[in-house]
Chain A
Amino acid sequence: MTPPQDQEPEFLHAFTIAANDFAGAGQVSIAVKNLLKEVGFSAQCLRRVAIVAFEAEMNVVMYGGGGGLSVYLAPTLVRLVVEDQGPGIPDLDLAMQEGWSTATPEMREMGFGAGMGLPNIKRNSDRLEIHTSPGRGTKLVAEIILT
């Protein structure tokens, strides 16, 4: 499924993601969900958007050294842009594999680091682009078609 060409999404809101804030991590994704709930999409779509946002936010907190999440909206499309200026992902193909993770024991104790975040993001997005380079950070662009 590709969205119609005329559906260039418009900027809706930008959030800041704090570095290493494990107690607060996830707040931004809940805020994204609440923001889109007001626009009025199906629970199933909201769930997909929130899962993508949440996994991406956790990665920015855990590995990216903080960053930002922006929401763009078209009538039947949500675009999430999640960026950080962290270390980047050296081998993206490897990182996309289910189970591959560099999480520390502390991160695992928090319930993250199963190596399923990026695969979860992929599964819940209709289009996904990840731009990353060592030392320069990571930019993830995910689009979810709303039904």
Chain B
Amino acid sequence: MPVKLAQIASWLQAEVLSGHEALEREVLLAHAADMMSDVLAFSHPGSLLLTGLANPQVVRTAEVAGIRAVVFVRGKRPSEAVTLLAQEFDLPLMTTAYSMFDACGLLFAQGLRGWSLPEGRA
């Protein structure tokens, strides 16, 4: 189910850190991981990434894997340098106070899916 980033931000009561002008963009599905190799191995292009990591590798992994936007969970906040890197790659970033489990649960309850369910790939 395609979902606009503005809608994601509202469901997660998230603060947008970069890409304020890009909130009309849509993500097609979601992937949650703290290990970047997991993102590189399993995520699909056009996905939203939820993660508890906030280092430059998250942004570079997103660029390599075709991730459309990143949500940092449990109030994680990247450094200024990471936010600037994301702007360079035109990658929207947001942060939510919810835990990984709760953030994923809230998005799932609204209809967003991951790649391992048939609906996610539709």
Residues of chain A touching chain B, judged by Cβ–Cβ distance below 8 Å, are: 22-27, 29-30, 33, 43, 47, 50-51, 54-55, 58, 108, 110-117, 119-120, 123
Interface residues of B in 35-52 (CB under 8 A from A): 35-38, 40-41, 45, 51
Q: Which among A22, A29, A30, A108 has the highest number of chain B CB atoms within 10 Å?
A: A30
Secondary structure at the A interface, as helix, strand, loop or mixed, is helix
**CB pairs A–B below 8 angstroms (10 shown):** A26-B60, A30-B60, A30-B63, A43-B45, A50-B64, A54-B61, A111-B37, A112-B35, A116-B38, A120-B37
Give the CA-CA distance A30 to B40 in the complex, in Å: 14
Chain B residues within CB distance 8 Å of chain A: 34-38, 40-41, 45, 51, 53, 55-58, 60-61, 63-66, 81
Interchain CB contact (< 8 A) of B61 among A43, A111, A116? A111
* Whole-angstrom CA separation of A119 from B65 in the bound complex: 16
The verdict on A47 contacting B61 (CB below 8 Å), with A55-B40, A111-B55, A120-B40 known, is: no
Measured between beta carbons, the chain B residues less than 8 angstroms from A43 are 45, 66
Given A112-B37, A116-B35, A116-B38, is A33 in contact with B55 using a C-beta cutoff of 8 Å? no
Residues of B within 8 A of A55 (CB): 37, 40
Cα distance, A43 to B57, chains bound together (Å): 20
CA–CA, A50 to B44, complex, Å? 14
Q: Shortest distance in angstroms between B27's beta carbon and chain A's nearest beta carbon?
A: 16
Q: With contacts A111-B34, A114-B37, A117-B37 known, is A54 near B60, CB below 8 A?
A: yes
Complex alpha-carbon distance, A33 and B41, angstroms: 17
* B45, B51, B58, B61: most-surrounded residue (chain A CB, <10 A): B61
- Give the CA-CA distance A117 to B40 in the complex, in Å: 9
Cα–Cα, bound, A110→B37 (Å) = 11
Q: Contacts A43-B45, A111-B53 hold; do A26 and B61 have CB atoms under 8 A apart?
A: yes
Residues of A within 8 A of B81 (CB): 23
Bound-state Cα–Cα, A36 to B66, Å: 15
On whether A111 and B60 interact (CB within 8 A), knowing A43-B45, A47-B45, A47-B66, the answer reads no
A76 to B18 Cα, complex, angstroms: 37
Contacts of A29 in B (CB 8 A): 60, 64
Those 3 A-B pairs whose CB atoms lie nearest each other, nearest first: A26-B60, A116-B37, A111-B36
Pair A54/B40 contact, Cβ less than 8 Å: yes
Of A25, A30, A115, the residue contacting B64 (CB under 8 A) is A30
**Is A114 within 8 A of B60, CB to CB?**
no
